[in-house]
Structure 1
Amino acid sequence: MSFDLSTAHHPLTDVFASADHDAFTLSSEQLAFYRQNGYVAVVPVLDAAQLAVLRDELAELTRPGHEGAELWYEYHSNESDDPDAVLFHALGAWRLRPALHDLLWHAAITVPARQLLAGGVRFWHDQLFCKPARHGGVVAWHQDYSYWTRTKPMNHLTCWIGLDESTTENGCVHYVPGSHQWPLLPTTQLANDMEAIRNVLSPDQLAAFRPVPIEMPAGYASFHHPLTLHGSYANHSERPRRAVVLNFFADGTRSDQAEPLLAGTTPVAPGTPMVGQFHPLLLDAVDP
């Protein structure tokens, strides 16, 4: 069996080394925008060298027979099952490759996450989303916490990081501003019908359903609330759209089910804080 990097709760390389946390602090204007809209976007997190390392590791992980494949929580070479609408989606890359592992501790991500969570930052899980050029599929409208109700309280945060320039043409993320104030919605299929969400929205929600495209250069990120409705359309461009998504929760979040929270992980007893091998503390509530 391959070495499982989830046993290391510290960076293994210097790819993301930085001692200047102040350089990554979100402004008061950015924090106010997040509180009002449920997201904040166009946050620089990766330089060209870091992007190159992550792209190389991602390329390895999309090849059949790659080393460490037994460590994935989930792995879908095409979650849509439609060869003309490909959505590569996988969970658990941090266990397989060193830079994808170390990205969790990158201060450009954890410092804003601590501000938005108002506490210590613990890791929930990661995701890779890849839409190939010309036939990349959709990620249908959803709220992340719809898939995370096995943890409580709802004090989660998602960071979406583009490894390519993301545009409306190649399937960038869209957010519905203010939807973080809505109640939890039923889930629809993640990789299929973009219009299915309309069947579960109230008349008032339909009236407020005005998605905003989040176009960003490669190496930039957006952060969003666990109830913010978001999705992304197909990639019909000549360029791929690849992304790493990191999901966090505030330190002190507890398990709400007896079964393993992710495939192949150790169960966390209901009511017990989410700690241990698979949920490391990435940044404490205050600096030492």
Structure 2
Amino acid sequence: MATEVMDVPREYLPGVPDWSTLHKPTGELFSPVEEKKDWARFRLSDSQIDQFTRDGFLLNVPVLTEEECDRILEDYTYFLDPTKRHPGLEMMYEYHSNQGGDPDKVLMHGLGQWRLTKLFHDLVFLPKVVVPVSQLLNPGGKEVPVRFWHDQLFAKPSHHGGVVAWHQDYSYWTRTKPMMHMTVHIALDNQSVENGALHYIPGSHRWTRDGKPLPVTDFNFADMESIHTILTEEEEAAFKPVCGQLRKGEASFHHALAVHGSYGNRSDRPRRATVLNYFADGVCSDTEDELLKGIKIAKGNKMEGQFFPLVYDPTWAA
């Protein structure tokens, strides 16, 4: 597996490594693939690809063991426990201890944790994730090379966890083009209706406005009803949520236009998840502004470099 930047991490602050400079897994979370033939065992079946094409999402794909989840949850304390804040927290592109601001509806949301710990870094390169992403970015066709976009954390505490309003991911990503993006949501706890599991609207990945994604109706994720103000009559009739019901260690893969959201957590269990976002190699910047905090690529130029590593290339398996 080729590296594009360095073989060792640079330091962000003295003694605080920035893992974004290492473009291969450390081996801390899983053993790297050594043989070309071994990549094939991570591929999805034809029926799974067909389901994704039809619905815009694929549910209940096992990607982590319970033990791996528990190890990642240990790193999660850096973002949930104010007394254990990671010294490199400023490396993150965003961090909200409660995105909506309502203490009765708490949603911890962050972007960029892959830069802070070995486990979150290695998760970006997980073969059980990146190979399916390569398939689903071009369903029915050849696998495509995949680059990492950014990761996210979503945590809802028991009893007073907040919502994540209905949205399409690409509505937030129009600063890049073309739209060849994929989102992978990994459950680190069992997810249910009661504790705020992810929900999807089947077929909504075909919903656009003049070829563009639906307008964003709530940037703070707090209002589950606002999306209904922009739906057509046909979309409203098709608005029939499906609950993911992911088990601990399972992932859902969804199209960049798949409408999804999650309700609050009123159960006695937390709902913690990590999200990985990818795009096909060749996607370009469509802005002169920042793509992520502190990161710019000139409009029209390919998205690559330190912060957008190549995580899978089909030639590695050929």
Same fold (TM over 0.5): yes
Category of TM-score, reference length = shorter chain: over 0.9
Do the aligned residues in 2 keep the contact of 1:17 with 1:106 (CA within 8 Å)? no
Whether 1:81 aligns to 2:111 is: no
Aligned to 1:3, the other structure's residue is in SS state: strand
Equivalent in 48, 51, 63 of residue 66 of structure 2? 48
Match of 1:70 in 2: 90
Aligned to 2:128, the other structure's residue is in SS state: helix
Q: Which moved more, 1:242-251 or 1:23-32?
A: 23-32
Structure 1: runs of 5+ lacking an equivalent = none
Deviation string 1:90-135 (CA, Å, 9 cap, x unpaired) is: 0000000110000011101011111111311100000000000010
Separation in structure 2 between the aligned mates of residue 218 and residue 137 of structure 1, nearest angstrom: 20
Do the aligned residues in 2 keep the contact of 1:128 with 1:245 (CA within 8 Å)? yes
Deviation string 1:228-278 (CA, Å, 9 cap, x unpaired) is: 00000000110000000000000000000011200122x111111100010
Aligned residues: 287
Do the aligned residues in 2 keep the contact of 1:161 with 1:219 (CA within 8 Å)? yes
Separation in structure 2 between the aligned mates of residue 211 and residue 24 of structure 1, nearest angstrom: 29
Query: By how many angstroms is 1:10 displaced?
Result: 0.9
Do the aligned residues in 1 keep the contact of 2:285 with 2:302 (CA within 8 Å)? yes
Equivalent in 67, 77, 93 of residue 59 of structure 1? 77
Equivalent in 121, 125, 148 of residue 105 of structure 1? 125
RMSD of equivalent CA atoms = 1.1
Separation in structure 2 between the aligned mates of residue 285 and residue 149 of structure 1, nearest angstrom: 26
Query: By how many angstroms is 1:52 displaced?
Result: 1.5
In the TM superposition, structure 1's runs of 4+ consecutive aligned residues that sit over 6 Å from their partners are none
Deviation string 1:167-197 (CA, Å, 9 cap, x unpaired) is: 1110111000000011011112242110000
Aligned to 1:157, the other structure's residue is in SS state: strand
Do the aligned residues in 1 keep the contact of 2:28 with 2:118 (CA within 8 Å)? no
Match of 2:291 in 1: 261
Separation in structure 2 between the aligned mates of residue 171 and residue 54 of structure 1, nearest angstrom: 20
Whether 1:141 aligns to 2:171 is: no
Aligned-partner residue type, residue 157 of structure 1:
M
Whether 1:10 aligns to 2:24 is: yes
Aligned-partner residue type, residue 274 of structure 1:
M
**TM-score scaled to structure 1, two decimals?**
0.97
Separation in structure 2 between the aligned mates of residue 187 and residue 68 of structure 1, nearest angstrom: 31
**TM-score scaled to structure 2, two decimals?**
0.88
Query: By how many angstroms is 1:22 displaced?
Result: 2.5
Query: By how many angstroms is 1:18 displaced?
Result: 5.0
Q: Percent identity?
A: 50
Match of 1:122 in 2: 147
Separation in structure 1 between the aligned mates of residue 27 and residue 77 of structure 2, nearest angstrom: 19
Match of 2:5 in 1: none
